Amino acid sequence: MSPVPRTHLAGRRRFKGLTQETAAEAVGVTPTTWARWERGQQGIRAYYWPRIAEILGVQESDLARLLGLTAEDTPTRPLGITAVVDEATRLWRSEMETDRRALLAALPFIPSALGEWLLSYTHDTPPAATARQGPGPRVGLSDATRIREARDAFKKLDSQFGGGMVRSAVVDYLHTNVTPLLKGTYTSDVGAELLGAAAYMTGLAAWTAFDLEQHGQAQQHYTQALSLAKAGGDTLTAVWLLSAMSLQAFHLDEPRWAQRLTSAAQDTARKADAPPVVMAMVSIRRARALALSTQPDPGSGPVRNDLQVGKLLDEATHAFDRGRTDRDPDWAQFYEEAWHISEEGRVWSLLGNHQRALGHADDAISSYTGGTRRRSIQLNRLEAAKAHLAMGDLEQSLACARLAVPAVKSLTSTRAAHLAHRFADRLEPYGTSPHVREFRDLLKAELSA
């Protein structure tokens, strides 16, 4: 049957003087979703009814009658294993087409989309079974293991050289190697492992897009990764994905979504009785989100509470000190001590304790070994530079930043270059200083590309 347009929804929206974009933002969905609602192409979940009624100025009890909604109106996101696979592989295939890849790279970051994804992850029912009879090869557990091993190898290159070095290889691997496996034949046990491994690799595709400042593209891959993790019942990979999404929110100055994402990651980890290293990560990210919140903002979660932040830091340290277990997920190997120290330093910076932030940045730099964390080292040098500047030591601040700039140039990380420019913006009060002018000239010469 052809979709039936919801003319009352569109008419009432126009009567209230709202565009599709403003209505979507008020409800917490994307403009595309709102447009599909009006065209009758997508069900409207009951979760959104109270907010829709509020912005349209009607009683919730009258909403169903006015808009032609029924209790059966459900999200149209496909929940079967075949639909989950088709949705993910379609995205990977698009990355292989030049025109589509350029379009994806240009997509904007849409904060309201995060609400839809969180709701879907939290409330949608996963596929009833993870077995599949497909036209592709017969798949075994060893195939899922190889995907995880390949992902870890790509991640090491990403950490050393930046997301631009490996992103195309990651997407090609998803399209060329993972797609045939997902469309093959496998048992429920193998299917769960395969979906989890695919989510793990897709999360890296999202992360590398984020590192290249292609934020809309990163969002697309994160949502597919979450869908795959949910379908496979891989809760700990979902925790990592939610936490990684919060890093994007931090980077884009979206404190409300940073709070929601870190809260979701922490709740998911607790329900899964996650091992200590996972709890350490989610606790410290939650502390960072709360430290970032400095102004009351109704609807955004709790206002910053320094005592609560300190408690979370203590919980994170205690959990990390408990050490590794045989239940640790694959990604936990990358959450090492230096990374933990670095994360704690960022929290102290947000709390205004710049001396402690500096100490943590210096400790993190000295703790990274083997030359496999070049990007992390440079980002911590910029953190140290920020701390020195906040304490009024311009000379030492510039000295730290100068060390970072040439190394940032050698990375294929647009994000690292962007953070170097952000530091330069902090130098504006000292713009007349010859040392500052010299540093800015260096930055322009080294990172002009």
Q: What are the phi and psi torsion angles at 254 (to 5°)?
A: -120, 75
The model's pTM is 0.81
Radius of gyration, alpha carbons of the chain: 23
Q: Per residue, what are the HEC states of the chain?
A: CCCCCCHHHHHHHHHCCCCHHHHHHHHCCCHHHHHHHHHCCCCCCHHHHHHHHHHHCCCHHHHHHHHCCCCCCCCCCCCCHHHHHHHHHHHHHHHCCHHHHHHHHCCCCCHHHHHHHHHHHHHCCCCCCCCECCCCCECCHHHHHHHHHHHHHHHHHHHHHCHHHHHHHHHHHHHHHHHHHHCCEECHHHHHHHHHHHHHHHHHHHHHHHHCCCHHHHHHHHHHHHHHHHHHCCHHHHHHHHHHHHHHHHHCCCHHHHHHHHHHHHHHHHHCCCCHHHHHHHHHHHHHHHHHCCCCCCCCCCCCCHHHHHHHHHHHHHHHHCCCCCCCCHHHHHCCHHHHHHHHHHHHHHCCCHHHHHHHHHHHHHHCCCCCCHHHHHHHHHHHHHHHHHCCCHHHHHHHHHHHHHHHHHCCCHHHHHHHHHHHHCCHHHCCCHHHHHHHHHHHHHHCC
Euclidean distance between CA atoms 220 and 209, whole angstroms? 10
Q: Which domains does the chain have, with CATH numbers?
A: 7-67 (1.10.260.40), 79-233 (no CATH)
Structure confidence at residue 306 (pLDDT): 84
- Cβ-contact 174, 202 below 8 angstroms: yes
- Cβ-contact 338, 364 below 8 angstroms: yes
pLDDT digit string (tens) for the chain, length 449 residues: 456 778 778 888 898 999 999 999 888 888 888 998 888 888 787 778 888 888 888 876 667 666 665 544 444 444 578 889 998 999 999 899 887 788 778 877 878 778 777 877 887 778 888 999 999 899 999 999 999 999 999 999 999 999 999 999 999 999 999 999 999 999 999 999 999 999 999 999 999 999 999 998 999 899 999 999 999 999 999 999 999 999 999 999 999 899 999 999 999 999 999 999 999 999 999 999 999 875 444 454 545 678 899 999 999 999 999 999 999 999 998 888 999 999 999 999 999 999 999 999 999 999 886 667 889 999 999 999 999 999 999 999 999 999 999 888 889 999 999 999 999 999 999 989 999 999 999 999 988 75
Euclidean distance between CA atoms 423 and 102, whole angstroms? 29
With b meaning 16 or more CB within 10 Å and e meaning fewer, what string describes 137-171? eebeeebbeebbebbbebbebbbbbbbebbbeebb
**Cα–Cα distances in Å, from 351 out to 306, 421, 444?**
8, 23, 31
Q: Terminal CA-to-CA distance of the chain, rounded, Å?
A: 53
Structure confidence at residue 105 (pLDDT): 82
Euclidean distance between CA atoms 195 and 342, whole angstroms? 32
Structure confidence at residue 183 (pLDDT): 95
- Cβ-contact 127, 195 below 8 angstroms: no
Q: Which residue has the tokens 């109106």?
A: 73
Structure confidence at residue 3 (pLDDT): 67
Structure confidence at residue 68 (pLDDT): 63
From the list 418, 381, 121, 116, the residue with the least C-alpha distance to 252 is 418
From the list 37, 41, 72, 32, the residue with the least C-alpha distance to 51 is 37
